[in-house]
Amino acid sequence: MYSVYGNTPKVPPITLQLQLNELKVYFEVDTGCSVTLMTWSDYSKLWDNAKVPEKCCLKLKTYIGERLEVLASHENVFKKLGTFKGPPTKIDEKDATPRFFKPRPATYVMKPRVEAELDRQKRILLSQSSLLNSLRP
C-alpha cells in the first residue's frame, strides 16, 4: 500500500504463505480490496513457460493515484458470497494476537465535513443521555 504521508511509519502487510505448483508463495491478505493481484515475477516463478497474457482492460490506481499496469484477469472463483458448498472450515491460530491500527487520516478537503458529522453524532449522544438521566427514578 502506498502512503500519502512520507514520514508516517509503514505498517507491514498481513501475509500468508500458500503452496502453488509445489512452490511456496507469500500472498498479502485481502482486507477488503475489490481485486486480488499477483506480481508478474511471482506468476513467472509458478509457471515456467509463462507467456505475457493479453492486455486486460481493468484500470487500477494506487491510493495516491499512480496507475497500475494489469496484465490479465481471471474469472471469479465464486459467483457471489455464500456459494462455497465444501465442508465447513475454521482457522484456529493459537499464537494470533489482535492488532488494532490507527485509521487513515481524513484528507484536508474532507476535514470540515468529518468534524461536522462527529459534532452531529456527539449532539445526538448527549441528547439521548440527558433524556435517559431525566427518566431515572
Please say if the pLDDT value at position 114 is more than 60: yes
- Give yes or no for a contact between 81 and 61, defined as CB atoms under 8 angstroms apart: no
How many C-beta atoms surround the C-beta of residue 106 within 10 A? Answer: 12
**22-34 average pLDDT score:** 75
The larger pLDDT score, comparing residue 74 to residue 121, is at: 121
- Tell whether 84 is covered by a domain: no
At 25, which helix (H) or strand (E)? strand 23-28
Instruction: For residues 1 and 68, state if they share a domain.
Output: yes
Residues 48 and 7 grouped into a single domain: yes
Same domain, 14 and 55: yes
Looking at the structure, tell me whether residues 74 and 115 fall in a common domain: no
Whether 29 and 72 share a structural domain: yes
**99: DSSP letter:** -
pLDDT-based confidence at 5, cuts 50/70/90? very low
* 73 and 112 both lie in a single domain: no
Residue 135 lies in a domain: yes
Domain span including residue 24: 1-79
The band of 116, judged by pLDDT with boundaries at 50, 70 and 90, is very high
Can you read off the three cell numbers belonging to residue 116? 461536522
Question: Number of folded domains in the chain?
Answer: 2
Per-residue pLDDT tens digits for 46-69: 777 766 666 677 777 777 778 878
Whole-number pLDDT of residue 18: 83
Higher pLDDT, 110 or 52: 110
